[in-house]
Amino acid sequence: MSDLLRDLDFFHLDDLLTDEERMARDTAKRFVDREILPLIERNFASETFPMHLVPQMAELGMFGANLKGYGCAGMNNVAYGLIMQELEAGDSGLRSFASVQSALSMYAIYANGSEEQKQRYLPEMAKGKLIGCFGLTEPDHGSDPGGMETRARRDGDGWILNGTKRWITNGSIADIAIVWAKVDEGITGFLVEKGTPGFSTRDIHGKFSMRASITSELILEDVRIPKTAHLEKARGLKGPLGCLTQARYGIAWGAIGAARSCFHCALDYTKSRKQFSRPLAGYQLVQAKLVKMLTEITKAQMVCLRLAHLKDQGKMRPEHVSFAKRNNVNEALKIARDARDMLGANGIVNEYPVIRHMLNLETVNTYEGTFDVHTLILGRDITGENAFE
């Protein structure tokens, strides 16, 4: 097998990367190969996240990697995307942990917080000593966050929060929750620390997807927080949606990693597995599936590399991210399903990573904007007509 195929770089995109970008990718890949792959199936089976690896991830600069200052690595967006790709090649839950810590929680403070809030939280979050979560989705409000029912009202020089958030990654293990709530002026954000009276969490069990990720409910019952915990720059849906754009960017890259893992597994399996007179890889239908996988992964790589350059140049629009998230995750899910089929009965056992990636990608295709929601975002951009309502 050629090096290009082994690394799945069919169009020599590695030639377009800088030494620093390659180093970030290769460092993340070594970490995943050494620390994640040997244990991730056990975590998936037991519905646990490998918290003991958080200090190593922090030491490698994975938290807030593309943020500048406050102890963050200050990488460019190509390097950050490549890290997300390698983390999800290990498991979507691992990439989700890093995405929520970085692109949702840290970025929310970075973009909307006061200088005092940034200095207080971001350095410790970059070190992995404070874990964050992002409380936007509610039991009855997912694709339409503007319909949220969580409320905040002024109380003297502070605020009182009431409401419930659901499907919150890192919820019960977070030290700080970014909670979005409605106020008289619209929607704004608050910093709610673990242990605040009236604030509790409850984990969601019985998931068949993202099992190596902690998913929780956040319950706020007359939670009083000081004025200093208000993200005063966050006004309207622009605040949380700006964070979601950052997270979706990382998801678009991450999906490539999951798809690549499934491709390699299917390729190795069909080359070694004999049926009738030859290896499975020698049959036309199998080769057609492998070619389709390679094609879609290569296209996704090209989309993400261009998206990263636009982001670094300040030219990226949310619609660009919708295009990448919608396409890359949907194609990765198709690749995982085909790979599972190509492995036959072995496709459903944890001796191979395919079924785990396939189940995870069902969730990734839904969260941070469903396939259909991103379709409507792009449709609105093309036509100028809003089909949401």
Domain boundary among 126, 156, 174: 126
Q: Say if 389 falls within a structural domain.
A: no
Give the CATH number for residue 303.
Answer: 1.20.140.10
pTM of the model: 0.95
Which structure tokens are listed for 232?
């005063």
Distance between CA 168 and CA 374 in Å, rounded?
A: 21
Same domain, 297 and 378: yes
Within the chain, which residues score under 50 in pLDDT? Answer: 1
Same domain, 122 and 161: no
Same domain, 147 and 117: no
Same domain, 219 and 136: yes
Domain boundary among 195, 216, 231: 231
Residue 388 has what pLDDT?
84
- Find the domain containing 149 and state its range: 132-231
Q: Say if 108 falls within a structural domain.
A: yes
The CA radius of gyration of the chain, in Å to the nearest whole number, is 21
Residue 6 has what pLDDT?
60
Between CA 336 and CA 150, with CA 372 as vertex, the angle to 5 degrees is 110
- For helices 19-31 and 77-90, angle between their N-to-C axes, nearest 10 degrees: 20
Q: Where are the beta strands (DSSP E) in 137-238?
A: 151-155, 158-169, 176-183, 186-193, 199-203, 215-226, 230-231
Same domain, 70 and 199: no
Same domain, 67 and 142: no
Sign for the CA dihedral angle at 280, 282, 286, 287 comes to positive
Same domain, 225 and 243: no
Same domain, 190 and 317: no
State the catalytic residue, choosing from 86, 149, 368, 385. 368
Catalytic site residue 389?
Answer: no
Same domain, 301 and 330: yes
Distance between CA 165 and CA 24 in Å, rounded?
A: 34
Residue 1 has what pLDDT?
47
Residue 185 has what pLDDT?
86
The three-state secondary structure class of 7 is coil
Query: How many structural domains are present in the chain?
Result: 3
Domain boundary among 200, 231, 262: 231
- The pLDDT tens digits of the residues spanning 32-82 come to 999 999 999 999 999 999 999 999 999 999 999 999 999 999 999 999 999
**Please, are residues 181 and 230 in contact by the beta-carbon 8 Å criterion?**
no
Same domain, 116 and 168: no
Q: Say if 388 falls within a structural domain.
A: no
Residue 145 has what pLDDT?
83
**Please, are residues 176 and 193 in contact by the beta-carbon 8 Å criterion?**
yes
**Please, are residues 86 and 29 in contact by the beta-carbon 8 Å criterion?**
yes
Between CA 356 and CA 366, with CA 361 as vertex, the angle to 5 degrees is 145
First vs last C-alpha separation in the chain: 51
Same domain, 151 and 271: no
Distance between CA 79 and CA 87 in Å, rounded?
A: 12
